Structure 1
Amino acid sequence: MILGHTIKDYKRENLLHDVITGIIIMAVSIPISMGYSQIAGLPAVYGLYGSVFPIILFALFSTSPQFIFGVDAAPAALVGSALLGMNIQSGSKEALAVVPVITFFVALWLLAFYLMHAGKLVNYISAPVMGGFITGICSTIILMQVPKLMGGTAGTGELLELLEHIEKTAEQINLPSLILGILSLVVLLAAKKIMPKFPMAVVMMAAGAVLTQVLPMKEWGIKTLDAVAPGLPKWSFPNLMLIPMDEVVTISLSVAVVIMAETLLAENNFAQKNGYRINDNQELLAFAVGNLVAALTGCCPINGSVSRTAMGEQYQGKTQLMSIVAGLSMILLLLFGTGFIGYLPVPVLTAIVISALLGATEFELAVKLWKVSRTECFIFWGAFIGVLLLGTINGVLIGIILSFAEMVIRSSKPASCFLGIQPGHKHFRDLAESRQIHEIEGVLIYRFSSNLFFANAGVLQQDIEQELERRGNIKAVILDASGIGSMDITAADRIEILYKSLKEQGIRFYITEHIADLNEQMRKLGIGYLIEEGCVRRTIYIALKDMGIKRPYPLEGGVDNEERSASRKRVDNRMQEFVWAFGSDTEDQIERQIAQQIKQLKQNGDVEKLLHGSWSHMEAFDEDEWLEHLEEHLKEIVNISGKDERTLAARFEEHRREIHERIMKEHPELAQRFKERRHRLDEHLKERRPEVYDLVVSLRELEKRKDME
């Protein structure tokens, strides 16, 4: 729980800000909660009840230091419309009994989402979607509040309904109410610019209460909040049999999805903006606990509040202590201060809400996106307009669809380039970087920097084929797949088509530089034979070496490429390429290939071919392990070839010495590592084939005596 951490490491300099902000949030929650409670079909006082225990319980479980929970627009509107669909009159005894049942099932759904770890779904929603969503929510709530400035009631629904309600309210506008509301808004916005740390909202509420006392506000038609009876909410378990199960499950599911999507999106938006992280799944548990308490106290479903959170941010609330203060302050108000509520002018409170919401909009993000990425800018406006026109959930869905569409479009145009080498240097670089970088003669090296799937596989094939036409006289194509982490079956088919096409033209094809997991994917997708045929190599250097091209590489146009000093050479066999290529299947793959070689031995009797394996041009460490596996089949090879067992074992040891000498010559720094690895392989052979191990050891002892003589 974040509260325990907050108290344990609490910074005393935050205390004043948290307390003041908590009181402001309590005061601002009064008109918001009372209004939305009535929209949900409950008496206004239940909005205040929803601002007590749910907000405190949410603070105990939430991982967000600043987000505020409370009665809010979207869930209230959904519940209100559900009551209309069930022919239940708003504010009736039936509504008082039914709404907590819906809230209870909302809590159960949110708990189910928590157990299913559904919070991770928010990771698939991009920043433009979040920005458009938050801006759309803020703009919707502002449009809901505008009629209250003119002396009317809050609007409901989406953009068209809200504009229609504003138009009707404007026909019966109360001028004193509008003047008071606009003056309050101007003062709040000016104070935010001039002295942002000053709690002007508290001053405005106090001033509004004083004006109600000294001026004939009611005679002028300026509305004040309705007075409520003092006392705390009563606790009771809702009667779950009041609504048919299929009906309540459907209604509560839609409300729970809205709460999850809207609140998680808003929480992550504030978290990214202020540089902290939240636990999305833990937040779902906090939502569930808050709504469970709301159900037990007779309230409508509770949601995360963007307007109250924006207010908390404006007045520098730092921790969930402000939520605790807000909840406790509401208790004191319900017990001792309900008379004060009747003195608060609605236009002043509405101006406070609008001021906070204007600060939470992210139109500046849209301006930034327009300069950086027009596509992402359109996604922002798509989410924004979707929320305004179609509501919260549809707006989120539109934004997600646009995000995925943008991802597919971006992936279909991946970064790619053709590589060459600068004379005297060892690294392959983009040919477009400099005129000093040249292509290797007869070799086309192509880097593809994206996961390979149906939308971009054709780009890879097309780029390579067009470059082949341009250059001509190409002997090999090397694909630098360092940027490819995965491929789908369509991409695998394209790779196979490309490989067969190149093979028909007498052009060799290599895939290099990728992670080992891609090899496993290739095997599953049916193109694992490319690995067995030696077309998949660990590095570009090894692929070139396999073709017989060594440093200094010959460059196109006869450009001189002088070799660098030996100390600067790249060691290209620092790990076993066979193990890299076949991963956990290495042992079985070696055994399968040896079995195939032994089968061929029965036909051609060529023992020497066994020593080098069927996988073309193995590196030294791979050859050594191949020999170790061959030694386990020594008796079988003897029976097939008819050769003497000792003679064959001696040939294996001779080949091993050749490998060791090659390593000493080319890469002396790896010689000790080779010895250590040889010891491990010997132990393995001793365990698996002790009789062969004894024969090999006797041959080595004999060789040592000869060397001493």
Structure 2
Amino acid sequence: MTGMTRLVPASLRGYRRAWLSRDVLAGVALSAVAIPEVMGYSSIAGMPIVTGLYTLILPTIAFALLGSSKLLVVGADSATAAILSAGLLELGIAGLVPGSPQWVALAGLTALLSGVILAAARLLRLGFLADFLSATVLIGFLTGVGIQVASAQIPDLLGIPRGRGNWFQQQWSWLTHLDEVSWYTIAYGAATIVIIVVFKRFLPRFPGSIVAVVALIAVSGATDASSHGVAVVGAVESGFPPIGLPSGLTPGDVSQVFSVAVSCFVLILAQSAATSHSFATRHGDHLDIDRDLVGLSVANLAAGLSGTFVVNGSPTKTEILDQQRGRTQVANLTMAFISLLVALVFTTSLADMPLAVLAGIVFLVGLDLVDVRGLRRIYARRRNEFVVAVVTAFAVFGIGVEQGVLLALALSLFEVIRREYRPKDFVVGVTEEGVPTYTLAEPGIESAPGLIVFRFNAELFYANASRFADEVKALVDEAPDPVRWLVLDAAGIADVDYSAGIRLHNLLDFLAARRVTFVLARPDAALVDTLKVYELWQRIPPENVFGNLIDAIRAYPAGGSPGAADEPPAG
């Protein structure tokens, strides 16, 4: 790579002039959808409307220049906005209300801390942590966020005050105040939803959200909607995003919002990585998660320094960009330019926009996050994982978004440990044609009279070592015929920790006391090295080690001693 090539952003290397017009047009189309959306996301985050526009300016430019993904759209996101709002509310700071200068400052501080944590993750090469949120948990989490986001818009759609307390108390609040609804407000909210749904159904390539915003602002201004009890956005600050550290903060504020920043970091890492990987695979592009971490880190630092809130890779906006046949981050740079133009020139036209219009946009975004199709697929294929997804979703909207993030992490790790602790184990046999057969391991099963071939499909570690040893002992004790050979098929065992090594020593003592010959089949080189360190390898005669499972089974002489392996043992 030449010195000049290194100066070109990774996401733009190999750019072709023929792509320019397509990228610019895709960026214009993306802006028409993204700008109304991020204004809605700013309401989820409890931030001034204009700050939603700010998320599409400097943060988008930062990722376009420093990230590796050619398509990932970075900006305000409903899930991280919900985490931010819920997290700040749970701080319990006296006088802290959404939209206040203190709220805006703490939101900016959260973005800065998220950027710092993402940078630390890059330095420590922690991009692999994105793999620890399973697809099941992520579907459940985003479904929970969708339910929370959609239900939170109902009071604004009805024109009644929002309730306080947990999710159930908030729903009870609007249900018990239906006599106070504003029919004018309902009309604006319903019109927004109908316009967007109709365009999505019949003209999917045309952004119905921008049509709803422009048309209903015009109607609101012409009819003086605010005089009829319709809440409107009001004056919106215009100009370039303010540059500088959030004001009015103290050192103690860092520790207060740190947990909120960690929750945002977890979701940013998981959602952005999953989105980047999906679209890179679709187009055969190279993906560098660690470089994307740099881009996401600087994007969030830019957000914190430009008066706005946490940004994330958006799967919905990235899908829109892909549908518009955008090829590179030039499309996102186009969107950033248009967003800046709107912030500088057109914010005054937003004053007459009814809040119900924003609520209608966000309500549909929330419904889109409820992945009913994904939940159905999980239910049809893995009932236990469906329960995990539902529990995660319930935790998000019923307990709290931040708690939902922590539960999502815990459930993902628990699922890994559960599979390692209780893998599917088999007793292996062989047909007359030499084809291995696998039967779930249960006491009373044998591979042949006097022979048990046992396959354990997990690494051996402290949590499952006792279960492994107990299974082997039960197979030996309850076999129909006295066991003379116990063949361990080690193809599924990549490693053995110290605790498991002690258990293996005890198991070899047990087998020796029962006069059962221990035979090892298909150990890889790394496992052999580990067994040598634990002085287990030295207890297995060389003629009892086979590099091929069929050879190990065929070597069983039905009463004699083991024969030599036809292939040299691995390692």
Class of the TM-score when normalised by the shorter of the 2 chains:
0.7 to 0.9
Checking the alignment, whether the CA contact within 8 Å between 2:491 and 2:523 is kept in structure 1 is yes
Alignment of 1:551-700 (within 5 A): 573-575=566-568, 577=569, 580=570, 583=571
| Coordinate RMSD, CA, aligned | 3.8
CA contact (8 A) 1:147 1:165 kept: no
- TM-score, structure 1 length as denominator? 0.68
1:518 to 527, 534, 547: 527
CA contact 2:426–2:455 (8 Å) conserved in 1 = yes
Q: Map Cα deviations across residues 195-223 of structure 1 (whole Å, 9 max, x no partner).
A: 32232222222221232244342233223
Provide, for residues 159-181 of structure 1, a one-character-per-residue CA deviation record: whole Å limited to 9, x for no partner.
23542554476453211211331
Secondary structure at the counterpart of residue 181 of structure 2: coil
Q: Give 1:251 deviation, angstroms.
A: 3.0
Shift of 1:305: 6.8
Q: Which amino acid aligns with 2:453?
A: I
Matched, 1:346 2:360: no
Contact 1:138 1:307 in 2 (8 A): no
SS of match in other structure, 2:366: helix
Q: Are the counterparts in 2 of residues 307 and 353 from structure 1 also a CA contact under 8 Å?
A: no
- Write the distance in 1 (CA, Å) between the matches of 2:533 and 2:49: 62
Code of the residue aligned with 1:283 in structure 2: it is: D
Range that drifts further, 178-187 or 463-472: 463-472
Describe how 1:125-164 pairs up with structure 2 within 5 A: 125-152=133-160, 159-160=167-168, 162-164=170-172
Cα distance change on mapping 1:400 and 1:181 into 2, 3 Å = same
Other-structure match for 1:476: 485
The one-letter code of the counterpart of 1:248 is D
Mapped contact 2:260–2:402 kept (Cα < 8 A): no
The gaps in structure 1 that reach 5 residues or longer are 433-437, 556-570, 584-709
CA distance in 1, matches of 2:300, 2:454: 56
Distance 1:16 1:286 in 2: 24
Q: 1:300-315 to 2 correspondence within 5 Å?
A: 300-304=308-312, 309=317, 312=320
Supply the AA of the counterpart residue of 1:67: V
Task: Map residues 291-330 of structure 1 onto 2, 5 A cutoff.
Answer: 291-297=300-306, 299-304=307-312, 309=317, 312=320, 316=324, 318=326, 319-330=328-339
Q: Is the 8 A contact 1:54 1:302 kept in 2?
A: no
Q: 1:222-621 residue pairs with structure 2 within 5 A?
A: 222-237=230-245, 243-245=249-251, 247-271=252-276, 275-276=281-282, 279-297=288-306, 299-304=307-312, 309=317, 312=320, 316=324, 318=326, 319-423=328-432, 425-430=433-438, 439-440=447-448, 442-468=450-476, 469-531=478-540, 535-540=544-549, 543=552, 549=557, 573-575=566-568, 577=569, 580=570, 583=571
Distance 1:70 1:149, change over 3 A: same
Measured in 1, the distance between the counterparts of 2:375 and 2:102 equals: 46
Q: How many residues are matched? A: 547
| Match of residue 75 from structure 2 | 69
* Residue of 202, 215, 221 corresponding to 2:223: 215
Change (3 A) 1:173 1:231: same
What per-residue deviation string (whole Å, max 9, x for no partner) do you get for residues 608-663 of structure 1? xxxxxxxxxxxxxxxxxxxxxxxxxxxxxxxxxxxxxxxxxxxxxxxxxxxxxxxx
Q: Deviations over 1:284-315 (max 9, x none)?
A: 32232123223333x14322275963884697
Q: Is the 8 A contact 2:150 2:364 kept in 1?
A: no
Cα deviation for residue 272 of structure 1 reads 6.2
Bigger Rg over Cα: 1
Distance 1:505 1:151, change over 3 A: same
> 1:505-544 deviations in whole A, cap 9, x for unaligned?
3221112112121122223345333235765443446656
Q: State the Cα deviation string for residues 553-599 of structure 1 (Å, max 9, x = none).
A: 899xxxxxxxxxxxxxxx95554x4xx4xx5xxxxxxxxxxxxxxxx
Q: Does 1:200 align with 2:208?
A: yes
Moved more, 6-15 or 211-220: 6-15
Q: Distance in 1 between matches of 2:108 and 2:507?
A: 64
**Structure 2 stretches of 5 or more lacking a match?**
1-8, 441-445
Residue number in structure 2 paired with 1:179: 187
Instruction: Report how far residue 377 of structure 1 moved.
Output: 0.5
Q: What is the aligned partner in structure 1 of residue 34 from structure 2?
A: 25
Distance in 2 of aligned mates of 1:460 and 1:95: 54
> What's the TM-score once normalised by structure 2's chain length?
0.82
Tell me, yes or no, if structure 1 residue 123 matches structure 2 residue 131: yes
Cα shift at 1:384: 0.9
SS of 2:437 mapped into structure 1: strand
| Pairing 1:189–2:194 present | no
- Between the aligned partners of 1:353 and 1:387, the Cα distance in structure 2 is 18
CA displacement at 1:101 relative to structure 2 = 5.4
Cα contact 1:451–1:487 (8 A) shared by 2: yes
Look up the match of 1:112: 120
More helix per residue: 1 or 2?
Answer: 1
Contact 2:545 2:565 in 1 (8 A): no
Structure 1 residue 129 displacement after superposition = 0.7
Q: Secondary structure at the match of 1:451?
A: coil
* Structure 1 partner of 2:3: none
Q: Report the Cα offset of residue 455 of structure 1.
A: 4.6
Structure 1 residues 156 and 256: alpha-carbon distance in aligned structure 2, compared to 1, 3 A threshold: farther
Q: How far is 1:457 from its partner? A: 3.9
Work out the percentage of aligned pairs sharing the same amino acid.
21
Cα distance between partner residues in 2 of 1:157 and 1:326: 38
Q: Distance in 2 between matches of 1:76 and 1:442?
A: 65
Distance 1:255 1:116, change over 3 A: farther
Shift of 1:152: 4.3
Deviation larger for 264-273 or 480-489: 264-273
Secondary structure (helix, strand or coil) at the match of 1:222 reads: coil
Question: Which one-letter code corresponds to 1:180 in the other structure?
Answer: Y
Distance 1:471 1:290, change over 3 A: same
Highest relative contact order (Cα 8 Å, sep 6+), 1 or 2? 2
Q: 1:225 to 1:452 in 2, by over 3 A?
A: same
Shift of 1:263: 2.0
User: 1:241-282: CA deviations, max 9, x gaps?
Assistant: x5443x133134223212211222322444566555854433
Question: How many angstroms does 1:24 deviate by?
Answer: 2.5
What CA distance in whole angstroms lies between the structure 1 residues aligned with 2:542 and 2:315?
64
The amino acid of 1:402's aligned partner reads L
Q: 1:341 to 1:517 in 2, by over 3 A?
A: same
Matched, 1:59 2:59: no
Q: Between 168-177 and 1-10, report the one with greater CA deviation.
A: 1-10
Secondary structure in structure 2 of the residue aligned to 1:486: coil
Distance in structure 2 (CA, Å) of the matches to 1:97 and 1:369: 41
Question: What is the identity, as a one-letter code, of the residue corresponding to 1:66?
Answer: L
